[in-house]
Amino acid sequence: MLAKRIIPCLDIKDGQTVKGTNFVNLRHAGDPVELARAYSEQGADELVFLDITASFEGRKTFAELVKRIAANISIPFTVGGGIHELSDVDRLLNAGADKISVNSSAIRRPGLIDEIAKHFGSQVCILAVDAKQTEKGWWCYLNGGRVETDKELFAWTKEAQERGVGEVLFTSMNHDGVKTGYANEALAALADRLSIPVIASGGAGVKEHFRDVFLEGKADAALAASVFHFGEIKIPDLKSYLCAQGVAMRR
C-alpha cells in the first residue's frame, strides 16, 4: 500500500480562514499564516489553500497571502481559486505554490487543463471537483457550489485525467462540514475508474472517518478543515491512530 497523506485545507475568504457546512454558513477559523505554520510543524503531509470566492467574485487569488504562507511552511502547497489562464498559474507558482487546483475555470474551458499540463507538467495540475449526489447521480457544481453544471462526476474526472491532470480533489457537497464521514462509495468508484491519485474532501469528524476513507474509500489522501482548525483532531495523534489501524502513513 502506498503511504497515505493527511492534508489540512485553508478555505480563504477576504484574507481569513473560514469554514462552513454544505458550502454555506461560513464562520471564522483563524489566521491562515499561523494555521499553515502550525500544520507544517505538526506533520501534515501537504497543505491546500482555496480562495473560495475568487471565481464567484471574478477576481484573482491573493498572491501576497500565498507568498506569506509559503514562507512559513516546509511541505507541498496547493493553491486554488480564480485561476483562468497560464499567467495565473505562473504567478502563483512564483509566489510559492507547488501545485495549483482548477475547478470552475476547467469546467468552463476544459482545454485549460491541457495547457497547464503541457506548460508546467501534470504534477502541478489538480482538478478540484465540487459534486452533489442527486436522484440522477453525482453532478458537478461551479463557483463554490453555487451553479449546477452538466458535468457528471465520473465522466468529467475521466476526461480531466485524459487531458493531463495529476490528481483529483473530490469534495462531496452532501458531506461537507457535517462530520458524518466521507463519501466512501463514490470515492471507491472514482479510485477504480482513475489511474491518478484521488484526494477525499468533505465529512471528516472523527479519526475513524480517516481510517474508513483510506480502507473503504480507497483514497490516496484525506483533506479536512474544521476538525484540524478547531483542535478536535491533532495530526500527530491521527497519524499514530491510522498506523495502528494498518494504514501506511507518510512520516
Q: What is the DSSP string of 8-74?
A: EEEEEETTEEEEEETTEEEEEEE-HHHHHHHHHHHT-S-EEEEETTHHHHT----HHHHHHHHTT--
**Residue 75 counted as domain residue:** yes
pTM of the model: 0.91
Half-sphere CA count of 185, side-chain side, radius 13 A: 5
**Residue 32 counted as domain residue:** yes
Distance CA 101, CA 55 (A): 12
* pLDDT, mean of residues 222-232: 90
| SS3 at position 115 | helix
**Residue 251 counted as domain residue:** no
**Residue 97 counted as domain residue:** yes
Greatest alpha-carbon span in the chain: 46
**Residue 197 counted as domain residue:** yes
State yes or no: pLDDT of 250 exceeds 90: no
Distances (CA, A) of 192 to 140, 155, 174, 215, 241: 19, 13, 21, 13, 26
* pLDDT, mean of residues 162-181: 92
**Residue 89 counted as domain residue:** yes
Residue 74: give the domain boundaries.
Answer: 5-245
CB 45: neighbour CB atoms within 10 A?
20
Distance CA 161, CA 182 (A): 22
User: Cα 49 vs. chain centroid, distance in angstroms?
Assistant: 8
**Total domains in the fold of the chain:** 1
Q: Which of 105, 213, 219 shows the shortest CA–CA distance to 160?
A: 105
Q: Are 40 and 74 in contact (CB under 8 A)?
A: yes
Question: What is the grid cell recorded at 241?
Answer: 491512530
**Residue 69 counted as domain residue:** yes
Half-sphere CA count of 55, side-chain side, radius 13 A: 23
Res 165: pLDDT? 98
Please, what is the end-to-end C-alpha distance for the chain in angstroms?
15
Q: Are 212 and 184 in contact (CB under 8 A)?
A: yes
* Alpha-carbon radius of gyration of the chain: 16
Higher pLDDT, 177 or 194: 194
pLDDT digit string, tens, across residues 65-112: 899 999 999 999 999 988 999 999 999 999 999 999 999 999 999 999
State yes or no: pLDDT of 123 exceeds 70: yes
Q: What is the DSSP letter of 141?
A: E
Distance CA 229, CA 235 (A): 11
Distance CA 217, CA 198 (A): 10
**Residue 236 counted as domain residue:** yes
Higher pLDDT, 129 or 31: 129
pLDDT digit string, tens, across residues 27-71: 555 788 989 999 999 999 999 998 866 544 555 657 888 999 999
Those residues whose C-beta lies under 8 Å from the C-beta of residue 225, and which sit 6 or more positions away, are: 8, 9, 10, 11, 19, 29
Active site residues: 11, 130
Q: What is the CATH number of the domain that holds 166?
A: 3.20.20.70
Res 142: pLDDT? 87
